[in-house]
């Protein structure tokens, strides 16, 4: 029985230095923080763990900065608050106050009404400040390598 158990225990390749690494995790699908308490059942590999990835915001902004910079003419700043589909990003994602979110929404809607920002970019090129939104044939061309004889 001991031989069978030893053989099964060494079935997977194991690197002894792996546990000493900084980012080693017994359960990579679980996020155990230092000082956190957990049950023995949480370490059971047969049960799936609840994976909650920590999302890192791409664009970090403070409420004070939003209230200062948000203006319908500042299209480059407002473009950070809309998705590629033209939807205004929720307050829970941006982390700004309700007052700042209302101001952002109002300024985006004003910029759209003046034609400074698109209502939607679905099915077309994504919005980029300072570039034309016209469908130019050059946007859809690609370079090819031609052999010279």
Structure confidence at residue 60 (pLDDT):
84
pLDDT digits (tens, 9 = 90+) for 5-48: 777 766 666 666 655 656 555 666 666 677 777 777 777 777 76
- Whether the predicted pLDDT of 88 surpasses 60: yes
Go through the chain and tell me how many residues it has. 149
- Whether the predicted pLDDT of 124 surpasses 90: no
Which pairs from 79-87 meet CB under 8 Å and 24+ separation? 79/117, 79/127, 79/129, 81/108, 82/108, 82/117, 82/127, 84/121, 84/122, 84/126, 84/127, 85/120, 85/121, 85/122, 86/118, 86/119, 86/120, 86/121, 86/122, 86/127
Structure confidence at residue 6 (pLDDT):
74
Structure confidence at residue 133 (pLDDT):
61
- Residue spans of alpha helices (H) in the chain: 2-9, 63-69, 75-78, 91-94, 98-113
Contact at 8 Å (CB) between 72 and 111?
yes
Structure confidence at residue 118 (pLDDT):
84
pLDDT digits (tens, 9 = 90+) for 60-69: 889 999 999 9
- Pick the residue with more confidence: 14 or 112? 112
- Whether the predicted pLDDT of 53 surpasses 90: no
- What does pLDDT average to over the chain? 75
Contact at 8 Å (CB) between 32 and 38?
yes
Structure confidence at residue 96 (pLDDT):
93
- What 3-state DSSP class applies to 88? strand
Domains located in the chain, CATH noted: 2-43 (no CATH), 63-130 (4.10.640.10)
């Amino acid at each position: 029985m001991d031989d069978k158990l030893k053989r099964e225990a060494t079935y997977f390749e194991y690197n002894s230095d792996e546990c000493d690494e900084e980012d080693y995790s017994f359960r990579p699908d679980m996020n155990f923080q230092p000082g956190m308490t957990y049950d023995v059942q949480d370490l059971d590999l047969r049960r799936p763990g609840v994976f909650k990835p920590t999302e890192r915001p791409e664009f970090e902004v403070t409420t004070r900065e939003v209230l200062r910079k948000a203006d319908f003419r500042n299209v480059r700043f407002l473009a950070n608050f809309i998705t590629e589909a033209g939807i205004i990003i929720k307050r829970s994602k941006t982390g700004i106050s309700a007052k700042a979110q209302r101001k952002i929404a109002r300024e985006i809607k004003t910029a759209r009404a003046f034609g400074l920002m698109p209502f939607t970019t679905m099915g077309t090129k994504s919005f980029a400040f300072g570039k034309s939104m016209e469908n130019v044939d050059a946007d859809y061309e690609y370079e090819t390598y031609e052999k010279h004889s």
